[in-house]
A and B are shown apart, each in its own frame.
Chain A
Amino acid sequence: MLEARNISVKYGPRLAVSEVSLRLSPHEVTTIIGPNGAGKSTMLRTLNSGIAPVSGEIILDSRPLGSYSRRAIAKRIAVVAQEAELRFPVAVFEFVLGGRYAWSSTAGWGWETARDVEVARDVLRETRLEELSDRLMTELSGGERQRAVLARALATEAGTLLLDEPTANLDLAHQAAILALVRKRCDTRGMAALVVTHDINLAAEFSNHVLLMKDGKTVAFGKPNEVLTPDLLKEVFAVKVLVDAHPVSGVPRITPVHEVLR
């Protein structure tokens, strides 16, 4: 379990995150929402020990995050980041096997065990990529590639998954597919997930808790229907929104009401 207690993070001279607390529990999806520059991605990187907070503490499985080695953290926390440009050809299967790095017995030359291969096959099936596993990553479509990135993160078997705008640049069907996979892992295997996203409606549909951030500070934290209210959203995004219930799922549905349209 991963928990941030009152953390503040400096990004350059600026305080990007200011006294934010957050607790990720098993079986739950938590979403961070906020305008650009709200400190969402910084928060995510800090939780993964990429940046050290200037104050506050982060607790991973009842020990301070700083007391773990990088490999030990990688066994417990997996990240789905926005994809980096690939400059060398790598097959999907090998790419996903990369997720087993932290489990290798020796640091560098370690070879994958039969169990590593088995785990990789399982996550490829789970993400419906098994038929593409001998393709090169560069030959995949954007949606397939993002599924491969998710598959690699799942291959780490980490209990906590951090996703940084996992659905940016994806079409409707692929967006939902990615989050449905995450949701399923949380429900069936007790994983905890934190998603940074700009898509408020997806957040409402897939998450148990929403953290609303602005200028590095917590504006609200709670269940989607408590946080995604017209007043709070207007305060954070400076745009008027209409909130009603989704006709099928009943979760809050957010529609921006632009001044120019009225």
Chain B
Amino acid sequence: MSIASSTEVPAKDRVLRGIDEARATFKKTLLVCAILFAALIVVIVVMSLLGSEKLPAQASLCALLTFGKTSCGLTSDQDAILFDIRLPRILLGAAVGGSLAVAGASYQSLLRNPLAEPYLLGISNGAAVGTMIALVFMGAHEWSRPLMAFSGALIATLVVYRLAQGKTGATPERLILAGVIVTTFLSSAIVFVTTLMDATRIRSFTFWLLGDLSGTTAKLLWLALLIAIAGTIVLAAHARSLNLLMLGERDAFDLGVEVSRVRLVVFIVASLLVGSSVASSGSVGYVGLVVPHLVRLSLGSDNRITVPAAAICGAIFVVVADTIARTIIAPRELPVGAITALIGAPLFVYLLRRR
């Protein structure tokens, strides 16, 4: 009898033990999120140093680490660029990226469709129409923008969901077609509202429509950050239900998921996320497609890990994309939506062909 045989594990048990280690657990989720969050902080700091106006690295780093309490040798102009222009814009990018990625991941699980994405389903456009109506007719009230954006997103969501339901259920193709119809219909609504504006505002408007992080107010920034964090927490709290919904509504119901309640929660929270993003920065496309897909590819498709990880990765993705957008042809700028679409559209084609 050899010594090894006493510690040998039967093959069957080894397989079970292996899968148990690969499975998403609370510990693994915390670890992954901590690492990603650290990466996000690094990205935020590094990206705030880059831009058309070069900032001295050491002094900026020092200023950032003391939260601007000491100037660390930055001139007052440099200080203003860092804390009043760049940092708010980067934080907004993080909020928008996180919001859209989480909304995308949730829509994909709920609708059982890897191609579902707020922008492609017309939900971003719904929010855009809401924002524009608020701007044109309720310009005096700052809060009307996010409120109308949320309403627009929610209405677009419900319409797309209804349109996609065929007699045989919703196929992925049907959902995308429904999204195309809603998107084009809302695009003409956008054109219509644009004609009601004065000519001087139209250019900044077209820019905003393509996704632009430069023109927001402090209030909207805080709102976007707050909604991004709260929305991620609420949706992550429904992640186990989403895991079962991913396998089919009937299966989820049989196993104990209150399907209609979860669906309502996802629709409302995702619409809030998309609404607050669009109200502050227009329609940044494909974030909800690219980020959850890459997260699933590397971490598996358990939503308890996908949802929080997508939030942080989405933030990183948009902050980096926006830095590219504002530096690549500096001192002029591209809308960040152009960069995300440039990455996202080919991935969409790849995903569509792989099915």
Interface residue ranges, A against B (CB under 8 Å): 48, 50, 69-71, 73-75, 78-79, 81, 84-91, 93-95, 97-99, 101-102, 104, 106-111, 117, 121, 124-125, 130-131, 133-134, 152, 156
Chain B residues within an 8 Å CB radius of A85: 248
Do the beta carbons of B253 and A70 come within 8 Å of each other?
yes
Q: Other CB < 8 Å A-B pairs besides A88-B301, A101-B256, 17 of them?
A: A81-B254, A84-B248, A87-B246, A88-B109, A88-B114, A90-B246, A90-B247, A93-B23, A94-B23, A98-B247, A101-B241, A102-B256, A108-B240, A109-B239, A109-B240, A121-B16, A134-B19
- A87 with B26: CB separation less than 8 A: no
In the complex, which residues of chain A have a beta carbon less than 8 angstroms from the beta carbon of B239?
108-109
Provided the pairs A75-B256, A88-B114 are in contact, do residues A107 and B247 lie with their beta carbons within 8 angstroms?
A: no
Q: Give Cα A133 to B242, complex, Å.
A: 21
Question: Which residue of A has the minimal Cβ distance to B260?
Answer: A70
- In the complex, residue of chain B having the shortest beta-carbon distance to the beta carbon of A117: B20
- Is B326 an interface residue, CB under 8 A from the partner? no
Contact of A48 among B18, B244, B254 (CB under 8 A): B254
| Interface set, chain B 170-200, CB cutoff 8 A to A | 172
Nearest Cβ in chain B — how far from A43, in angstroms?
A: 15
Q: Which of B22, B238, B240 has a CB less than 8 Å from the CB of A91?
A: B22
Instruction: Give min CB distance, A152 to chain B, whole Å.
Output: 8
Q: Can you list 28 A-B contacts (CB < 8 A)?
A: A70-B253, A71-B256, A74-B256, A75-B256, A84-B248, A84-B250, A87-B114, A87-B246, A88-B109, A88-B112, A88-B114, A88-B247, A90-B246, A93-B16, A93-B19, A93-B23, A94-B23, A95-B247, A98-B247, A101-B257, A106-B237, A107-B237, A108-B236, A109-B239, A109-B240, A111-B26, A131-B12, A156-B255
Chain B residues whose CB sits within 8 angstroms of the CB of A125 once the complex forms: 12
Check if B254 sits within 8 Å of A98, measured CB to CB: no
Instruction: Tell me the residues in window 14-38 of chain B with beta carbons closer than 8 Å to chain A beta carbons.
Output: 15-16, 18-20, 22-23, 25-26
* Category for how many chain B residues contact A: 35 or more
Question: Given A50-B253, A84-B251, does the pair A104, B16 have CB atoms closer than 8 Å?
Answer: no
Q: Does B327 contact A (CB under 8 A)?
A: no
Contact partners of A111 in chain B: CB under 8 A: 25-26, 304
| B11 proximal to A (CB < 8 A) | yes
A109 and B237 within 8 A (CB):
yes
Contact between A91 and B19, CB atoms less than 8 A apart: yes
Chain B positions near chain A (C-beta within 8 angstroms): 11-13, 15-16, 18-20, 22-23, 25-26, 109, 112-114, 172, 236-244, 246-248, 250-251, 253-258, 296, 301-302, 304
Distance from A200 Cβ to chain B, minimum over Cβ atoms (Å): 26
Q: In the complex, what residues of B have CB within 8 A of residue A78's CB?
A: 254
A22 to chain B, nearest CB (A): 19
The 4 closest A-B pairs by CB, nearest first: A74-B256, A84-B248, A102-B256, A134-B19
A108 CB contact (under 8 Å) in B112, B172, B241, B246: B241
Closest to B249 in A: A84
* CB pair B254 A74 closer than 8 Å: yes
Q: Give the CA-CA distance A90 to B23 in the complex, in Å.
A: 11
For B19, what are the chain A residues with a Cβ–Cβ distance below 8 Å? 91, 93, 133-134
In angstroms, Cα B23 to Cα A98, docked, is: 13
Q: A252 to nearest B CB, angstroms?
A: 32
Q: Which chain A residue lies CB-closest to B21?
A: A134
CB <8 Å contact, B247 and A104: no
Q: Min CB distance, B306 to chain A, in Å? A: 10
Tell me which of A69, A73, A84, A156 has the highest count of chain B C-beta atoms within 10 A of its own C-beta.
A84
Task: Output the residue of B172, B240, B296 with the most chain A CB within 10 A.
Answer: B240
Q: Which B residues are in CB contact (< 8 Å) with A121?
A: 16
Question: Quick one: given A84-B248, A101-B240, A107-B237, are A124 and B16 in contact (CB under 8 Å)?
Answer: yes
Q: Determine the chain A residues whose CB is within 8 A of the CB of B112 once the complex forms.
A: 87-88
For A89, list chain B residues within 8 Å (CB).
Answer: 301
Chain B residues with CB under 8 Å of A74's CB are 254-256
Return chain A residues, CB-CB under 8 Å to B256.
Answer: 70-71, 73-75, 101-102
Contacts of B236 in A (CB 8 A): 108-109
With A98-B244, A110-B240 known as contacts, the answer to whether A79 contacts B254 (CB < 8 A) is: yes
Chain B, residue nearest A128 (CB): B12
| Contact (Cβ within 8 A) B238 A108 | yes
Residue of chain B at shortest CB distance from A91: B19
Most buried by A among B12, B247, B248, B254: B254
